[in-house]
Amino acid sequence: MAIAQLSTVVLDCPDPDALGRFYQQLVGGELKQEDHDWTHLTLSSGTDLAFQSAPGFAPPNWPAPDDSQQFHLDLTVADLDAAEQQVLALGARVLDAGDPSRSWRVYADPVGHPFCLCKD
């Protein structure tokens, strides 16, 4: 039996509202700015994302075998090529496009958190 249920994943960042808007455009949901230090994205899946102001934020280095990537999100999509164009237009950048036959690709959000687009 589990002790708890995951309800929210919190990402440190320099601008919670801006990063919240990026992820809202990426995964949908309802965005609510709680205050200047915290923005909350309620997802239809039941798990939420929140964005917390972190003075001195330093993005993870990826890939770096001697440094932590901290965490990453795996997001499923129907069409990798189409989704890639959309996330790049939102401000993401490619970290690892990989072999074209591979079913996933790695990106960084606008402040450097890695995330993967994975073929559904």
Domain boundaries, the chain: 1-53, 63-120
Higher local confidence (pLDDT), 60 or 86: 86
Topology adopted by domain 63-120: 2,3-Dihydroxybiphenyl 1,2-Dioxygenase; domain 1 (3.10.180)
Average pLDDT, the chain: 89
Range 45-63 average pLDDT: 88
pLDDT at residue 4 above 70? no
What fold, for 1-53? 3.30.720
pLDDT of 68 strictly over 70: no
Q: Report the 3 state secondary structure along the chain.
A: CCCCCCCEEEEEECCHHHHHHHHHHHHCCEEEEEECCEEEEECCCCCEEEEEECCCCCCCCCCCCCCCCCCCEEEEECCHHHHHHHHHHHCCEEEECCCCCCCEEEEECCCCCEEEEEEC
